[in-house]
Chain A
Amino acid sequence: MAEWNAYYRNEDDEEEQEEGEQSGGDYKITGRDSLVFLVDASKEMFIKGEDGQPSNFDMTMQVVRSVYASKIISSHRDLMALVFYGTEQSKDPSKSFKHVYVYHDLDEPGAKRVQEVDALRGGKGAQLAAETMGSGETSLGDALWCCANLYSDIKLRLSHKRLMIFTCRDKPHEGDSVKDRQARTKSGDLKETGVIIDLMHLMKPDGFDVAPFFRDIISPPEDESELGLQLEPCDKLEDLQKRVRAKEQKKRAQARLHLCLGEGINVAVGIYATAVTARKPAPIRLYRETNEPVRSKTRTFHTQTGSLLLPSEIKKSQVYGKKQIVMEKDEVDAIKKFEDPGMFLIGFKPMERLKRHHHIRPAAFIYPEEDEVKGSACLFSALLTKCHERNVFALCRCVSRRNYPPRFVALVPQKEEVDEGKLPLQFLPLYLAFLSLKENSRGHCSCPTASQRQVDKMKEIVSKLRFKYRSDAFENPVIQQQYRNLEALALDMMAPEDTEDLIMPKVDQMDQRLGPLVQEFKDLVYPADYNPEGKPAAKRKTADTGGGAEKKPKVEVPEDELRAHVQNGTLGKLTVPVLKEACKKFGVHTTGTKKQELIDALVDQLGQ
């Protein structure tokens, strides 16, 4: 078991590194993202849909809530604001706008805010909204102005500014040209300061026409093709959610590199990760008395003299074959350096050469960066088209960052596809699959094969349990539980909200669907006296139950034998418990639990 465990522990260490590799990037340099929800609070928004469909307002609040919650999980340092317009009451920090209600100004979302948005959901929410804000005159110009003030009041550096307008009215000012013009001017100002304005238009009975008014308000799309698809209003919550999700995150390149086809042919590309393992947040230390966060400082000092050690007074070392090998810190870094970052084309291979099991880390996408090297998009596009047409992938050597050793990557062509929702093209160009450098093919055994009858029965079972896989269908129960717990504590709730474990098989439903098939299959493959649930052999039992409950046999090695091992350098033969016992016996204090650490400690002690 040791090895599997070791693997899992390693994974943690490695995660840190990977984290750096995957998320790092521009984030620190460019500052924070910000997102303002500007929501229409006119009467029209509160009209309930047919057959109990939620009102547009309700739908919007649900989306806002889910974005809040997901931001807390994924990027809590982003700033968010919620502003209503067309309200009766007014509330804004400068107190100079009428009919604009700043519900939340730009700040990091927290538990309280989530709760406050929750309060606006459903029938009760509509009532609350009517009481606190009411519906009144509309001046989108004022609302946008107010949002501009929100942005300008922020003293932090903002990297990405987005404003989403949720409305179901295509003519908010009912033809008042003065107000229209004012709104246009204001939106122009906002756009000039780098704010991207999106319209999340919602369904209304006679259709939503973007053209007369809103086309001038929103930011021009990234390319022309996007426009056509986006003009459809959302009428379903999922669509809206999807559309908001797609816009809410700034796509941020992990790295920008040159894809070098040959001497002097450099295509600028950005690398984008579309799936990065989300983790439980790291704990922070708080001062017991005040619950304020404390900062930690780590210093390195000399054990004997107690003086602080400068980096130059420290070296790095490893022990191999009983010999200590020492290097400067710079040298340790230098060893890792092969060449400057970049992707270097080696050649092409047919797609079937890329095996499914050649996978050692999640894929990323690359997309040309026309702003860096003009002409990149065209060559990239040609490469993509041809690779796809000929069903080949490009093999490259890739150094993703400075002082990173090279890896081989496969650039796999992927055609553009239209998502089934009303999303604009979800374009997935070449992706990088990190190939393992050395495959560890491990153990395989020859096993009996099933007869066609047995296979056919299984096919029936498989067909019965078919479903459509969607990658966003499964929530991580571990992370969800953690956040529910935190939410409960933050809001002084009695108990955390229940989380549904979506990756638990729905056994009852499955059994019901399968009906007698299971028994039929079992009759075909298992003999009557066979118990598939039985443990393979009694002796394995201890290993299966894991846990530390059962007593461990006391293991000891005589002293002289141990010394002999030390002398011959064969300590490695002994097991970890034996080594631990030996450490205890000789009074060797070690903090390590890894085998090598134990061995090192023993050698230190006994070798003298």
Chain B
Amino acid sequence: MATRAPAATGRLLLGFRKWYYNACGFNKLGLMRDDTLHEDDDVKEALRRLPENVYNDRMFRIKRALDLSMKQQVLPADLWTKYEEDKYYLEPYLKEVIRERKEVEEWAKK
């Protein structure tokens, strides 16, 4: 692993990631990665903290995807979410929620 040049690893890894992203298939329904996260307590709290416009966009995408899956259809190819355009919008909020939860747990241990 260390013998390969870093640039080559970067391109190889990127290629693999793009292939994997397209193979997952949720982008064909117009979804982003953070729309597909399983809603456990941390994710629920992070969703509560989203700004309103981001939350509304998420709801729209989920509704559109549900509608498409009911009709057993997929979006036209030009509307698929591209790997480069996918924003992990929930990640900062989720990280903060998890950090806060860990802080509480740390404190409770003492």
Mutual binders A and B: no
